Amino acid sequence: MRLAEIHIHPLKSCRSNLVSSALVEAMGLQHDRRWMLVSDREGFLTGRQYPRMVLITASMDDRGVTFDAPGMDSLRVEIADMREWQGVTVWQSGEFAAQVGSDEADFWFSDFLGANCRLVYTGADSTRRTRRDPEVPVSFADGYPVLLIGTASLEELNGRLVQPVSMRHFRPNLVVETSVPFIEDSWRHIRIGGVVFENLKPCSRCLFTTVDPDTATPAADRQPLETLNNYRRTEDGTMFGVNLVARSLGRLQLGDAVELV
């Protein structure tokens, strides 16, 4: 098995960046989901409420991030400008501290989404931890640092759909070439290149999977979620992909061998 794709989403719910390599940190892939939008009324914002978020592109480096969106001028935000602290939440993780401070960014995103919101940042000082392993830090991801999906799982799903969907509908970090659908569910520990990961739990899916990543249009027939509900629903949700934590650090490259440990 080989590593087929690496995706990084600098802003939670933004368009993914397909990259050829990525550094694995304790918090997940470097630069992944380090930025998020929040509002006083709705808490943290995602493409579930605001599908247009998938049209935002973000290019991140060690100093900051550059955002682009249709009809908007480019926006540059420096990490050094995010000096204030604010309590935020992501699902049931409890409140933790994130950094704020760019008024320009707040106006930019509020204008694009048509909703008052604020840009927040989390870095190495984050106090948020995964629910199943309190030693593992996590960024603004839904609950765990890394999401992996096998190619055979998507192929099997698309065989049931009238209109096939792309892997981008499911927003993974890592895509592995597989020949057996959902074989990744059975993995406990895997090594990709020189990095060891532990599979903590399957990933439950929601309506965000029905948003077209190219047009930001939610599917009227609620596909592919409705089809997944027919054969992947459990007591804990409808599962597609697995949530990983890194048990060692290092760099991943496309084509890296994937081995069971």
pLDDT score recorded for residue 54: 98
pLDDT score recorded for residue 111: 97
Answer yes or no: CATH 2.40.33.20 is held by domain 3-7+140-260.
yes
| Of the candidates 230, 235, 208, 56, the residue with the CA atom closest to the CA atom of residue 142 | 208
Q: How many Å separate Cα 99 from the centre of its chain?
A: 19
pLDDT score recorded for residue 80: 93
In the chain, the N- to C-terminal Cα span, in Å, equals 13
**What predicted TM-score, i.e. pTM, was given to this entire model?**
0.95
Q: For 182-208, how does the pLDDT look when each residue is reduced to its tens digit (9 = 90+)?
A: 999 999 999 999 999 999 999 999 999
The residues spanned by each domain of the chain are 3-7+140-260, 29-121
Per-residue pLDDT for 255 more than 80?
yes
Residue indicated by tokens 């599917």? 219
Q: For 243-253, how does the pLDDT look when each residue is reduced to its tens digit (9 = 90+)?
A: 999 999 999 99
Q: For 4-58, how does the pLDDT look when each residue is reduced to its tens digit (9 = 90+)?
A: 999 999 999 999 999 999 999 989 999 999 999 999 888 999 999 999 999 999 9
Contact in structure between 34 and 60 (CB atoms under 8 Å): yes
